[in-house]
Amino acid sequence: MVTDLKIKEGAVELKQVRAKGKSFISTGNSEIDKKMGGGIPCGSLTLIEGSSDSGKSVLSQQMIYGSAINGYATTVFTTENTIKSIIKQMGSLSLDIVDYFLLGRIRIQPIQVSRGADSADEALRNLKVKLITEKHRDLILVDSLTPFVSHTSIEKAIDFFEECKTLCNSGTTIICTLHSYAFEGGFIIRLSSLCDAHLRLKTDTAGTQIVKTLEVSKIKGAERSTGNIITFEVEPGCGMKIIPFSKAKV
């Protein structure tokens, strides 16, 4: 009964937060938010693109945490993790979401996608339905969209993004991560044109050090000018740590 009461109280609090009309989804890291011009604008569609191990999931988890500490209701659809593994990964980066998960502020829904065109098409349709049922949430994050779109047609993938845009128009913020290899570069450009924000991640070297870089390709409605390139590393117990430009170029 105590848990049910807390969840109900949390639901009321979430409605009040949405009514206040906060304008950005924070990463929970003020330094990163500053580089991104304030954060991700609410009601926007964002594409996070990058190769494997480039930091897509870490950046996504920062946004899950940032939305939670600011009182937003978040739903996560994951094809790469379980509920337990996400909570454990985030905890190892000092992004503790256990209480938010128990209160229902964060929902995590693991999804398995079978290979093959027919299975991918059906999975994409089912995902679209799931997004619609979660449209009352403040933030919906799909990590990763790759299994859905890598075996389907470009037209159906674009149709999915257009549906996401419709949901965003009602106030929901949607973030999708995608591996760069999922489609050819021309397709990524077409998807990017449908999105309000496009963040590109990659692994690079700084002298003898391997680092990750975040390129802020565009963020419509950013509060301030965005920093074009953010160089960072992922430290256990700390999460994303920005590396100064001078150090990154050594």
Rounded to two decimals, what is the model's pTM?
A: 0.86
Confidence of residue 14 (pLDDT cuts 50, 70, 90): very low
Output the 3-class SS for 150-199. CCCCHHHHHHHHHHHHHHHCCCCEEEEEEEHHHCCHHHHHHHHHHCCEEE
Output the CA–CA distances (angstroms, integers) from residue 130 to 107, 115, 158, 171, in the order listed.
12, 20, 17, 17
DSSP state of 112: -
**pLDDT tens string 203-246:** 987 777 788 999 988 888 766 655 578 888 888 888 888 887 55
What pLDDT does 185 receive?
A: 64
List, for residues 138-163, the tens digit of each pLDDT value. Answer: 999 999 999 888 878 888 889 999 99
Sequence-distant (≥ 6) Cβ neighbours of residue 63 within 8 angstroms? 25, 26, 27, 28, 40, 139, 141, 175
| Dihedral, CA of residue 92, residue 94, residue 95 and residue 97, to nearest 10 | 80
Q: Residues with Cβ < 8 Å from 172, sequence gap 6 or more?
A: 43, 134, 135, 136, 137, 138, 139, 140
pLDDT at 249 over 70: no
With 50 as the cut, is the pLDDT of residue 7 above it? no
What's the length of the chain?
250
- Determine the CATH number of domain 2-248: 3.40.50.300
Q: Is the pLDDT of residue 35 over 50?
A: yes
Q: How far is Cα 68 from Cα 134, in angstroms, rounded to an integer? A: 16
Which residue did the predictor score with more confidence, 180 or 172?
Answer: 172
Q: Report pLDDT digits (tens) over 96-119.
A: 999 999 999 999 999 988 766 567
The tens digit of pLDDT for each residue in 44-72 reads: 999 999 988 899 999 999 999 999 999 99
